[in-house]
Amino acid sequence: MSNELNSQRDKIITLLKEKSVMKQDVYKNTLAAFDMLKETIMEISHDLKDHVHALDKRISIDGNYANAYSAQIKVAGDLLEFYMHTNVFQFDRSHPMYKTSYIKKDEYNSYCGIINVYNFLADSFKYNRANDLGYLICRIFVNREQKFFVETKTQLGYKYNTFSTEKITKEQIREIVQDLILYAISFDLYTPPFEAVREVSVNEIQEKMNSMNLRIGKRLGYGASASTEEDFS
């Protein structure tokens, strides 16, 4: 084998040793954080259920997870869907994190796993309304050192807007989940303008009655235009 081929092989091995191993560490840490999150969701749901059902048993509260990468918590009319992406991502060069000394010190610190959190109406799942909309309200980033930060429009967006100095903890995860529940409960379904839903054909109303095919989102209501959506991406 020629020296040039040997050099190429060595570069491949070096890159796999450094970059691929780093990405495996990021994935492992993100999965560990998500496992803590699933445990926390169940603990919060049980705690809230005990307290709320003492006041009114009609208020539904439930936590569950279908697989290793998806979990839900339902609180009254709201449902939060937590989804862990299985891939590892690097920030775009224009991202504010590239201005931090933490990333400048070691670019590999910028590689993260992502946990996305979406807010849906609980009835969207209950009645299988496939056209209903959910909103991305939070993204949790975890890196190879188990450090994290949060992108969100809740108050936590100010507290955790840069990488933490310590590894992510279950206490911090509980704070994040409870803050997102508070945000979801306060984020109400709006009634669209009367003119936007004034006319409907017999065929349309029959289809809606048969399939519950009403496109609903918290800022859309019944049949409002997509331009009224609030952007959480």
The pLDDT tens digits of the residues spanning 110-167 come to 999 999 999 999 998 888 877 788 889 999 999 999 999 999 988 888 999 999 999 9
Could you tell me the pTM of the whole model? 0.81
SS3 category, 115 = strand
Name residue 135's beta-bridge partners. Answer: 119
C-alpha of 164 from chain center: 19
Query: Would you list the DSSP string of 44-62?
Result: HHHHHHHHHTTT-TTS-EE
Distances (CA, A) of 174 to 36, 41, 45, 55, 232: 9, 8, 11, 23, 22
Query: For residues 19 and 106, what is the distance between their CA atoms, to the nearest angstrom?
Result: 12
- CA angle (150 as vertex; 183, 116 as ends), nearest 5: 75
Q: Which helix (H) or strand (E) holds 72?
A: strand 70-75
- CA angle (58 as vertex; 56, 61 as ends), nearest 5: 95
Query: For residues 67 and 71, what is the distance between their CA atoms, to the nearest angstrom?
Result: 7
- Averaged pLDDT, 2-11: 83
Whether the predicted pLDDT of 208 surpasses 60: yes
Whole-number pLDDT of residue 4: 80
Query: For residues 41 and 35, what is the distance between their CA atoms, to the nearest angstrom?
Result: 10
Band of pLDDT at residue 195, cut at 50, 70 and 90: confident
